[in-house]
């Protein structure tokens, strides 16, 4: 079998799960990971024969995909803001809309200044690491409740040569104190209500950590409230608070921040036109 034929076989094997474009995209993610071939390299080498070991590796990926496991967890890696991250079922798979949040933050800060940045609920560390790589003078702190999550984030910091100070703590019952004011606080906390589960893709529900996804219907802004309270005490003068939010709770999030005395509150849509990000200051 040639590589070109493998591509057709891969897509045909997944026809019941993905449309052709999605299957092709997953094939290129796989071939990049397994063979280190980007699209150009694939086109150059498409007539070369596939070895038995290579075919077996692709078959394993196909089998895992059919079981509902996301390709990022199968390969153990994902890309975010041009950087490679290790991912596993202790962390969420980084999303493109979160890249938009990082872009917004970088647009708002001067990369010639030494500032303090705190990422609350860091997960894989993608936000903190992307900010540090693009804001090298910043002192970046990353907080998460789970030891296994922090362990993965630390691996990603090493992988991407980013110096991050990691903190294991619970923002809802915080024990850590900060002796320096923070210029940027950012969080992509759990925000999906329990009654939204039925609309979610099954492979997300079955594989990604629920502690990083879900909140109760009765108190869906619990993390936003706690982080806003923390920000009121710890933001520096002219500091900024950034959130990724539930697209259905934009007005409620803005109202919460206004009630607490935040100013210059901006609700921003993502590229899909969904209310997805908020910026505020005190």
| Pairing verdict, β 182-187 and 192-193 | unpaired
Planar angle of CA 31, 36, 39, nearest 5 degrees: 60
The dihedrals phi and psi of 179, each to the nearest 5 degrees, come to: -90, -5
3-state secondary structure of 270: coil
Q: How far is CA 158 from CA 128, 152, 154, 209, in A?
A: 13, 10, 6, 23
Residue with tokens 């409230």: 225
Residue 44: the pLDDT is: 96
Residue 246 near residue 192, CB atoms below 8 Å:
yes
Sheet containing 139-144, strands listed edge to edge, beginning at the edge strand earlier in sequence: 164-168, 139-144, 116-120, 182-187, 235-244, 275-281, 263-269
Torsion of CA 123, 225, 215, 153, to 10 degrees: 0
Q: What is the CATH number of domain 89-281?
A: 3.40.50.150
- pTM for the whole thing? 0.93
Cα within 13 Å of Cα(146), Cβ side? 17
Residue 125: the pLDDT is: 98
Residues 6+ apart with CB under 8 A from 282: 231, 232, 235, 239, 261, 262, 263
Residue 70 near residue 94, CB atoms below 8 Å:
no
**Gap between the Cα atoms of 79 and 163, Å rounded:** 19
* Regions of the chain with pLDDT less than 50: none
Residue 205: the pLDDT is: 76
**Gap between the Cα atoms of 58 and 27, Å rounded:** 9
The CA-to-CA distance between both ends of the chain, in Å, stands at 62
**Gap between the Cα atoms of 167 and 144, Å rounded:** 7
């Amino acid at each position: 079998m040639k590589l070109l034929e493998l591509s057709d076989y891969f897509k045909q094997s997944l026809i019941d799960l993905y449309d052709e474009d999605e299957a092709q995209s997953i094939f290129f993610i796989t071939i990049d990971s397994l063979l280190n071939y980007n699209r150009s390299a694939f086109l150059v080498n498409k007539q070369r024969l596939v070895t038995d070991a290579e075919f077996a590796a692709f078959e394993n990926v196909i089998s895992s995909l059919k079981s509902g496991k996301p390709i990022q967890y199968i390969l153990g890696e994902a890309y975010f803001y041009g950087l490679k991250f290790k991912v596993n079922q202790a962390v969420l798979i980084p999303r493109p809309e979160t890249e938009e949040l990082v872009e917004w933050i970088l647009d708002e800060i001067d990369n010639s200044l030494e500032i303090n940045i705190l990422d609350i609920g860091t997960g894989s560390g993608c936000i903190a690491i992307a900010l540090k790589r693009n804001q090298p003078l910043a002192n970046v702190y990353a907080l998460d409740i789970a030891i296994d999550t922090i362990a993965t984030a630390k691996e990603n910091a090493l992988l991407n040569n980013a110096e991050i100070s990691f903190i294991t703590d619970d923002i809802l019952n915080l024990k850590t104190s900060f002796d320096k004011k923070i210029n940027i606080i950012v969080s992509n906390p759990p925000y999906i209500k329990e009654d939204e589960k039925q609309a979610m893709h099954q492979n997300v529900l079955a594989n990604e950590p629920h502690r990083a996804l879900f909140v109760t219907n009765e108190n869906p802004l619990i993390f936003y409230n706690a982080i806003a309270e923390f920000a009121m005490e710890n933001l520096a003068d002219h500091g900024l608070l950034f959130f990724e939010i539930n697209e259905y709770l934009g007005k409620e999030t803005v109202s919460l921040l206004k009630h607490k005395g935040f100013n210059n509150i901006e609700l921003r849509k993502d590229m899909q036109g969904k209310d997805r990000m908020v910026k505020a200051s005190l």
